[in-house]
Structure 1
Amino acid sequence: MKLGMSCYCLDPAMASGQMSVDDVVDYAVAHGCEHIEFVPFRLAFVTPERTLDWELIDHVREKCKSAGIEISTYSVNADLLKTDPEEEEREIERVKRHIDAAQGLGLSRMRFDVASFRRPFSTNTIYDFNREFPQMVKNGTILC
């Protein structure tokens, strides 16, 4: 087992400008982490226009390499349960760009949530899960 952390743990410090992504990587290494997860809340690997920020991707990949820490995963929130077909397609394309970003960071795997945090919490019931499971599988399969 390897000790690691998510950059999300220091998201408030990045949001306030107290820490940069380099500071987060250095913090992880200084505290004995062997790997780090990137959650792009404060890291615009994918721009609002859905293009990749290759300068940032390359910088983070090389920073981790030079610091001697493995990038273990890349995680994004998604809502693959859109009811409008156009919104569903836009969301799938958005997640695909994040898959491209993960690949650019050197990863062969990533995690994406199917519906967390992008929908009202009240819709996260076992009834809704059972009803929406076929759509989760369909859209998850498109991304894999």
Structure 2
Amino acid sequence: MKLGISTYSLYQALNSGELTILEVIEYIASLGAEHAEIVPLGFNLTENPELIEAIKKQARESGIELSNYAVGANFSGLNEEQFEKELERLKKEVDIAAALGVKKMRHDVASSADLSISHFLQELPKLAKACQVIADYAAPLGITTSVENHGYYIQHSDRVQALVEVVDRPNFKTTLDVGNFLCADENPQAAVGNNIKFASMVHIKDFYYRSSTDQPGEGWFKSAAGNWLRGSIVGHGDIAIPQVLRIVKESGYDDYISIEFEGLEHCKLGTRLGFEFVKRVWNEL
């Protein structure tokens, strides 16, 4: 297992201008991380391709690997022309992943206001086709593509499983975010147990959880069923992170794990504390 940090964890500092992406990589390395996962929020590699070589150089100088490249995509509700245009855009993102030298790339697949299982099943063949095209494009480059349990529509463990199995490509798996299952009101321990065998990448994220009958106020957002969530430092929230990590470890998973922080605390503090917590717990298991 190689423990690292997603640049998304430092988005607060990137967005404010406190840190550049190169300084983020340097900070990630300073914490003892073995890898950095590149999420282009707060910077843009399509508009600023010169950053690709700069990021690679900074990672080499900092002594860490680049593990994964994570981008958005949406193939839901598109006509044929829009569908093909989105495919071409995403292929260019695969090219960026290859230029970065990473062998893993997460792309979103769909978002929709209609979260029903019937709508998902209706769209599944089209969504699977999109993933097949991108996985086949990425395969000669040695890249494994993946879908994350993310965005309400394809967030439940069984929907992710269904997509991975219908796509049926050896280089298409899931980026498994242990916290995101709560957004679909699914027990994280059960969901991680269901999907760890499909994982090419694992994100460790934590949330505070309150019932739908509570009124917690600013900083909280609703799950699919109307319960309340707020990002926390990993280990400070309501997810049983040690138990989740035990499931991951006992599964035999031995690849990249990324810390993701999206709490209200300063991102450098939240990232450091979460990283230190996961490193300690993993070593004690």
Shift, 1:126, TM fit: 2.4
Identity among equivalent pairs (%): 36
Shift, 1:125, TM fit: 3.3
* Structure having greater relative contact order (Cα 8 Å, sep ≥ 6): 1
Q: List aligned pairs for 1:12-91, cutoff 5 A.
A: 12-47=12-47, 53-91=48-86
Alpha-carbon RMSD = 1.4
Give me the TM-score of the superposition, normalised by structure 1: 0.86
In 1, distance between residues paired with 2:130 and 2:100?
24
Cα distance per residue 1:70-93 (max 9 Å; x no partner): 111001111022422222122111
Cα distance per residue 1:31-89 (max 9 Å; x no partner): 11111111112221112xxxxx4311111011111111111100111102242222212
Alignment correspondent of 2:115: 124
Give me the TM-score of the superposition, normalised by structure 2: 0.45
Query: Mean Cα displacement is larger for which, 34-43 or 79-88?
Result: 79-88
Shift, 1:107, TM fit: 1.5
Amino acid at match of 2:53: D
Alignment correspondent of 1:6: 6
Aligned length: 135
Cα distance per residue 1:80-132 (max 9 Å; x no partner): 224222221221111111111110001233111102xxx34x33332222121
Alignment correspondent of 1:106: 101
The alpha-carbon distance between structure 1 residues 138 and 34, as it changes in their structure 2 partners (threshold 3 A), is same
The higher radius of gyration belongs to 2
Alignment correspondent of 1:50: none
What 5-or-longer segments of structure 1 have no aligned partner? 48-52
Alignment correspondent of 1:136: 127
